[in-house]
Amino acid sequence: MREAEQSGAGRTPDRAGARELPGLTIRSRDEGDRTLVTVCGDLDLTTDQQLQCALRSALLRSLRGLELDLGGVGFCDCSGLNALLNIRRQALKDSKKVTIRHVSPAVERILEIMGALPLFTPDTAPDGQRHSDGALNAPPPVDGHGIDVRTEVVQLRRALQTRDTIDLARGILMAAFVLTPEEAWSVLVTTSQNTNTKLHLTARQLVDSIRGGPLPATTQEQLSAAVTQVTAARETAENPK
């Protein structure tokens, strides 16, 4: 078993593939025919491409796939989800599998919102629950051998499609209200929750409104309230009494 860790951005990754990226600490080690990748930090616009490079390198080195320890991820938005979905798609092409061994609340939340959590659950656990230490259990296998590959492909394609709409909606919010990527993400999620609407449907409403469609009154009301909330929080942070 090989294990390595590197501290300090910009260093050349060693043979085990561990590296430190801006905003992220990534360690990897081989465990039999799979590679365990441990990620700590934030998964957002500033780190998603770098994370994808690290995961692709680890996937290439592994024989059967990756296990991800994401228990140390403090923040995750659609950019982080993008990296996870892309490495899952590449693994399918290579006849490998990517599963999550431990998950933080931030990652679990976005995976559940997007309906993508089953794509990353292990095959051997009995009940589909998350333990108090963040370890994931998978739902009962469909056919005694795990989720059918065709089902995984459909789920993955759906998650990727809804992600694009959500990314577009977040960009609209950033431009319209001069928000940061994190603030726009918070506004979108808060609006979705307060209107009891799925995140991708809220995003679709916003995108359609830019194209001339009507924005539902409840969505507009909650969107304005969410924008006010995040801008007030920013002003408080920038000008503490």
pLDDT tens digits for range 153-211? 555 566 666 777 888 888 899 989 999 888 888 899 899 989 998 888 899 999 998 88
Three-class SS of 179-198? CCHHHHHHHHHHHHHHCCCC
Query: Mean pLDDT throughout 35-64?
Result: 90
pTM to 2 decimal places = 0.59
Q: Beta 24-31 vs 19-21: how paired, if at all?
A: antiparallel
Per-residue pLDDT tens for 123-157? 544 444 555 556 665 444 443 334 444 555 555 56
pLDDT category at 40 given cuts 50, 70, 90 is very high
Q: Tokens for 180?
A: 């940061």
Q: Cα-atom radius of gyration of the chain, to the nearest Å? A: 19
